[in-house]
């Protein structure tokens, strides 16, 4: 099972269940247990798809750019 959550910077990300921490592209290390879990996914593919949808909600575009590009724009 994969857990989908957001960093404080707003970026959606996922981690495999049982993983303690996950590093965001903004540089912050997220303790997975302390985050509010938005969704769960059966596998990494489904998890990345959910993250993509959450990113689109946040940034309002219909296309998905890479995390690096989002970071550069901000
Ligand atoms: Zn972040």
**Residue ranges of domains in the chain, CATH in brackets:** 2-73 (3.90.820.10)
- Could you tell me the pTM of the whole model? 0.74
**How confident is the model over 15-22, as a mean pLDDT?**
96
Question: 26 or 63, which is more confident?
Answer: 26
Question: 44 or 73, which is more confident?
Answer: 44
pLDDT tens-digit map of 20-57: 999 999 999 999 999 999 999 999 999 999 999 988 87
Q: Is the pLDDT of residue 60 over 70?
A: no
Ligand 1 mean position to 30 CA, how many Å? 8
Question: Which residues contact residue 13 at a Cβ distance below 8 angstroms, ignoring those fewer than 6 apart?
Answer: 4, 5, 6, 7, 22, 24, 30, 51
Ligand 1 mean position to 5 CA, how many Å? 11
- Count CA within 13 A, CB hemisphere, residue 12: 21
pLDDT score of 71: 60
Ligand 1 mean position to 43 CA, how many Å? 22
Q: Which residues surround ligand 1, an ion (CB under 5 A)?
A: 7, 9, 11, 24, 26, 28
């Amino acid at each position: 099972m994969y857990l989908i959550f957001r960093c404080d910077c707003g970026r959606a990300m996922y981690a495999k269940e049982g993983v303690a921490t996950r590093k965001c592209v903004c540089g912050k290390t997220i303790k997975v247990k302390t985050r509010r879990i938005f969704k769960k996914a059966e596998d990494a593919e489904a998890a990345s798809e959910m993250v993509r949808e959450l990113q689109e909600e946040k940034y309002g575009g219909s296309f998905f750019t890479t995390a690096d590009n989002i970071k550069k724009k901000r």
